[in-house]
Amino acid sequence: MGYDFSADEIFEMAKQIEVNGAAFYRKAAAKVTGKAEQEFLKTLASMEDQHEKTFADMQADLKKEDQENLIFDPQGEAVLYLQAMADTKIFFKKEEPGKEMKDILSSAIKSEQDSIVFYLGMKELVSGAAGKQRVEDIIKEEMSHIRLLANKLSSIA
């Protein structure tokens, strides 16, 4: 079974990942007791909101040819990859956050890493420099989250 995949579809998934991330951070902020921890988590939620907006803007900027299907996959490898990723938490609402900041940060780092793995795989499925660059931009955004989360985790560990 052949399948065509487009940069436009990647952005739809990216936006949903960011929506899920923002919801996770807001729920976590409601569970922790420290004011500084709550503000940090609310800031992360706002960053996820901004990433969603960034991805929506990037999606809107796609040229018509970039929105069309970009790669032919006669072996169905793209479909198998998507099914494998769909079986992970990346496409679903994130787990309920715990009450401890260390657990929240560890879970968030894992989710950001999962997002990067997804985007790296998707980057290989998109042809054309414009589509690949847009996916690379998403990866860089997620990497910046990991750095921020890891710094916070190391400060409380």
- Does residue 76 come out as left (phi exceeding 0), alpha (psi in the -120 to 50 range) or beta? left
Place of tokens 């589509």: 131
Q: Answer yes or no: are the C-beta atoms of 144 and 115 closer than 8 Å.
A: no
pLDDT of residue 154: 95
pLDDT of residue 42: 96
Place of tokens 């956050």: 97
Both structure tokens of 105: 């940060």
pLDDT of residue 58: 79
Q: What is the pLDDT along the chain (157 residues), one digit of tens a residue?
A: 444 456 677 777 778 888 888 988 999 999 999 999 999 999 999 988 998 998 888 788 776 555 555 555 566 566 566 555 644 555 455 567 778 899 999 989 988 888 888 778 777 766 667 767 877 888 898 899 899 999 999 998 6
Domains and CATH numbers, the chain: 3-156 (1.20.1260.10)
Q: Answer yes or no: are the C-beta atoms of 102 and 110 closer than 8 Å.
A: no
pLDDT of residue 81: 63
DSSP, collapsed to helix, strand or coil, labels residue 4 as: strand
pLDDT of residue 2: 43
Helix or strand run (H / E) with residue 122: helix 101-125
